[in-house]
Amino acid sequence: MNAQPTTVSGPDQTERAILAAAEETGPGCPCDVIVIGDATGTLTATALDWTGGEGGRVWSWTRSRARATALAAQFPADVAAQRLTLPAGPDPVPLKAFLAGADAHLVIGRLPKGLAALETLARELVAYAQAADRTDLEVILGDRVKHMSRSQNAALATCFDEVRATRGVGKSRALVASSPRAEGPAAQDPVGPIPVTIAGTQRELVLQGGGGVFGGAKADAGSLLLLTHLDRAVTAGEVTATRAVDLGSGNGVLTAYLAAAFPEALVLGSDDDADAVRSTRATLAANHLERPNVRITWDDALAGEPDTSTDLLLLNPPFHDGTGIDATLVQHLLDAAARVLAPGGQLWFVHNSHLRYRGQLEARFTQVRERARDRRFTVLSAVRP
């Protein structure tokens, strides 16, 4: 396994730590290789080099629709030759279903952000090992040391008998899990009821949040602040909607509000994250809000939606890349909001107060108003010119 990845830039420290551990194992026979959460394409490229000419395939799985699209664009020939399998289609595919037909004993990838996501991944990989009869499955997942903890070892140990850490490569290292257990712990997505005022009436919504979805089954404080002030505007008749969108639906709290507050409207909840899409759908089902005019899509910044196609859009965007704040993450989402809102349509936007996004909205919208502000969050509304 001395082939170098066929990428323009070399591996970063975390990728080097993962690949160094994999060099000790090797994919073995002409077998497949599974790649999890490839952020740059380097791990997928290396796996393709390992399996090139040997009859093996690479199964590169990601929760992100944007990353799946980027990988498809990066390796079109390998996809066309069926040497590389990627998530595709309008709906996210659970990992076990995605891996149907794979024959791999080696998994390489980045550690998911968050223990819940790691626990879910471990269960899904054990389910694959059982279905494929791969008792020799070995999983190598890496990250920067500062983002790692012993809790990650414990999460893997619920599904694998052997878990160890590798030596560091720079400031990164990998965890190696092997000997999958015959039966992993049953998956139990968290469920949480929250009180919400909808069209002036107090109601309880049941949230469901699985895997790595932001907030799990809890309503984050930013969403609750937005909903409190949005509902006041809805009750006063200031906000109406025949087409409403929740961009970045997460666990579905904002989508559920829209479906309940505007029963006749076309409602769309959309997210780039597969766990969020699954959680939003589960939340709608738990609250009996599923109906033909409510859609949930796995999409990157509403790329599949036409211009000027909605008149109300809610946005509680991500502000963290891993554990650090990245204020640039919201830019393409604001661009998407400006594109899909019809003239006169309203954006309701909540953000961390210290990030001060008002100028960004004023560059794209008119009638920007501060609706609420507390120590942590600010709610703004704006109108599409």
Range scoring the smallest mean pLDDT among 52-61, 312-321, 366-375: 312-321
Helices and strands (DSSP H and E) totals, the chain: 12, 18
Alpha-carbon gap, residue 77 to 54, rounded angstroms:
17
Band of the pLDDT at 152, cuts 50, 70, 90?
very high
Band of the pLDDT at 7, cuts 50, 70, 90?
very low
Bridge partners, 106 (sequence order): 33, 138
* Between residues 24 and 2, the one the model is more confident about: 24
Band of the pLDDT at 5, cuts 50, 70, 90?
very low
- Residue 211, pLDDT score: 79
Alpha-carbon gap, residue 218 to 207, rounded angstroms:
7
- Residue 182, pLDDT score: 78
For the chain, the first-to-last Cα distance in angstroms comes to 57
Band of the pLDDT at 31, cuts 50, 70, 90?
confident
The per-residue pLDDT for range 278-300, each reduced to its tens digit, is 999 999 999 999 999 999 999 99
Segment 104-111 shows an average pLDDT of 96
Which amino acid is present at 266?
L
**pLDDT above 70 for 49:** yes
- Residue 184, pLDDT score: 57
- Residue 288, pLDDT score: 97
The per-residue pLDDT for range 161-213, each reduced to its tens digit, is 999 999 888 899 999 999 999 765 565 666 778 999 999 999 999 999 887 78
- C-beta of residue 142 within 8 angstroms of C-beta of residue 175: yes
Backbone angles phi, psi at 64, to 5 degrees: -90, 125
**DSSP E strands: which ranges in the chain?**
32-36, 58-61, 84-85, 104-110, 138-144, 160-165, 172-180, 191-198, 201-208, 243-247, 266-271, 294-298, 310-315, 320-321, 324-325, 341-352, 366-373, 377-383
**pLDDT above 80 for 8:** no
- Residue 209, pLDDT score: 84
Segment 330-354 shows an average pLDDT of 95
Alpha-carbon gap, residue 178 to 130, rounded angstroms:
13
**pLDDT above 50 for 40:** yes
Helix, strand, coil distribution of the chain in percent, nearest 5: 35, 30, 35
- C-beta of residue 297 within 8 angstroms of C-beta of residue 304: yes
- Residue 111, pLDDT score: 96
* Between residues 321 and 265, the one the model is more confident about: 265
Average pLDDT over all residues of the chain: 90
Alpha-carbon gap, residue 321 to 361, rounded angstroms:
22
Alpha-carbon gap, residue 12 to 100, rounded angstroms:
30
Q: Residue 220: left (phi > 0), alpha (psi -120 to 50), or beta? A: beta
Please count the other Cβ atoms lying within 10 Å of the Cβ belonging to residue 380: 23
Segment 356-361 shows an average pLDDT of 91
